[in-house]
Chain A
Amino acid sequence: MADLSTNPAHRAGDRTEAGPRGRRPKRAFSGRNIMIYGTLIVVALYYLLPLYVMVVTSLKGMPEIRLGNIFSPPMEITFAPWKKAWAEACTGLNCDGLSRGFGNSIKIMVPSVILSIVIASLNGYALANWKFKGADIFFTILIIGAFIPYQVMLYPIVILLREAGLYGSLTGLIIVHTIFGMPILTLLFRNYFTSVPEELFKAARVDGAGFWGIYFRIMLPMSLPIFVVAMILQVTGIWNDFLFGVVYTRPENYPMTVQLNNIVNSVQGVKEYNVNMAATLLTGLVPLIIYFISGKLFVRGIAAGAVKG
């Protein structure tokens, strides 16, 4: 009440009457709010509870796990299961833990992601802006590719890779990932580039920029958000892939997911739940980190790209 003039009730020449005035008050516990927040809390718990159990279990020793209180926090925190999962757990003949699979997965993911995004963005750009003869047919065929079940193509690709001498190698798997990423990524890029105002493209042509000039100087700088989206899709997709990894590589080239499976499903000896949990968390860490980092980048990308033509 230091300054009366800021209080509407004391404004000079106030002509309002008794009754509702100004902004309508909002009720915190309206039916709508209870529904929205109630649902959100239930869903959050549904997803967070298993994660909680995994984290807690991975930090316990085996004797403590045998007590059976899966929800109780660890009495004595130990990182030994994590160390074992990373460097000592045995899969098949090797006993160097997940570290080998991690290295393989990185070696598979990085080139696949880069290659598929480069090719798909060029595809999308050509389809959206340079209407060439047969562009629509090409696009339709590509999209149909997205609907063919992977199982149908597994064996033919085995033969193709064998004939090319790439079966079992990382290169073969990288090519497979790049090809299978094409339909959805091309669709993504094509739709994004189609939404870029056509006049911008025309202006660039009048300004003498060609196919590559427009791609690198006009389209690319405007398309950061869609590149981030494509990267998230590809990183998580390729990292989480199990089927192609197990089919097209040899044991020494197995990606992390396949190795995780081999650790968790090994039948000999005691089930080391804490090691299994730690191994699973380690494997899931990369997509998780990508989400955390690029989530921010994603929002910033959209904000930076949100310029009216």
Chain B
Amino acid sequence: MAVAPPVPTSFSGGVEAIVLVMLLTEFAMLRAPLARSQIRLYAFQSLGFSGLAVSVAATQHLDDLYVLAALSFVLKVVVVPSIVLRLLRDARVDLAGSNRLGVASMVLLAIAISVFGFFVVGSLPVHARSLPTATLGLAAAMILVAFLLVILRSDVVSQAVGFFSLENGVSVASLALAARLPLIVEVAFLFDLLVAVVVFGVLMRLHHGRSQTLSTDALDRLRG
């Protein structure tokens, strides 16, 4: 008779549940029809990341991570979402663009690709130090689904949200593998979000003024 695996501790179970919710949020972004709800989902996901950073900081006694948690809370939960929401309000755009696939097939594809991520991580001799090992697979799945979000949804907001949430996935992975990595690296990545938002704003202003749409189908002037 097979032997049941040991039950994880409350800490690792809770942490895994947080990362799992972040992954589910990623899936929700993939299917969310409204640009606005995608942004809110992103803010929610970032909140999960801040919580994760705090819990690692507390258990590993790494004070740097409190700074990271605070910074990502301010930037990713408050500033970036509110700026983007405001840009959207000014542009008066509700619907994100059309999907290239039906929602169900998109989700199934995303499931397949996250299974792939899980197995790749599972086949490597990697053991997360500061978080339960399952979070690594979850982070890999999150990154892959974020890529899918950028590829399958054809609108600017989805692409931006896809990139933002990719950042969340990479951050979770780095929290799991290298919690002691210098803070400056993480902060530089946060900074990149702001620039993406600025370029996004410029693009919205010019692009929307011309074609009244945020679909990337209009972004086809440069090709070849």
Question: Do they bind each other?
Answer: no
B residues sitting closer than 8 Å to A (CB atoms) are none
A residues sitting closer than 8 Å to B (CB atoms) are none
